[in-house]
Copies of this chain bind each other. A is one copy, B any other.
Amino acid sequence: MRIAVFRKAHFNAAHRLYNADWTPEKNLEVFGPCSNPNYHGHNYELEVKVAGEVDPVTGFLIDLKILKQIIKEEVEDRFDHKNFNLDTPYFKEKNPTSENICVLIHDLLSKRLGSEFELTVRLWETPRNYVEYPA
């Protein structure tokens, strides 16, 4: 009886899109206003999907209180009200696109969940754009 549970969370952060190997002109050409040196920001909405087997004793796939706490520690405490480029070491050398943030969140959560769970992460940068990993 393989099933999936989904849990939503959110955080607010600033970022800019930027490749340090490029000139400012090249950054502006590729990333447009997203490369504004003074940053801009988003209300990121996160949806975590966990797939696995239901425990017949509890009727739970996973205790959502535990999943909620892991998301709080690994995602919200780390990124909420932060600047991805300046405040998070991982993005000192990597461009904080939605794609890269989504993969990082997947990796952070995977390390905390047991291997009996399969994890998929969706990240909304705006209500009109979002990414999913793995596809």
Question: A interface vs B, CB < 8 Å?
Answer: 1-8, 10, 12-15, 17, 19, 30, 32-34, 36, 38-43, 49, 51-52, 54, 57-61, 63-65, 80-83, 86-87, 94-100, 102-103, 118, 126-135
Whether B19 pairs with A97 at a CB distance below 8 angstroms is: no
A contact face: mostly helix, strand, loop, or mixed: mixed
Nearest residue in B to A18 (C-beta to C-beta)?
A: B59
* Cross-interface CB contact of A3 among B65, B87, B133, cutoff 8 Å: B133
In the complex with contacts A3-B131, A135-B3, A12-B81 CB distance below 8 A: no
Whether A4 pairs with B131 at a CB distance below 8 angstroms is: yes
* Cross-interface CB contact of A64 among B43, B54, B96, B129, cutoff 8 Å: B129
In the complex with contacts A3-B131, A131-B6, A14-B43 CB distance below 8 A: no
18 contacts between A and B (CB under 8 A): A6-B132, A7-B128, A7-B129, A14-B40, A19-B57, A30-B63, A33-B80, A36-B81, A38-B83, A38-B87, A40-B82, A40-B83, A41-B42, A42-B42, A51-B135, A52-B135, A54-B103, A59-B94
Whether A38 pairs with B60 at a CB distance below 8 angstroms is: no
In the complex with contacts A3-B102, A99-B61, A131-B61, A12-B38 CB distance below 8 A: no
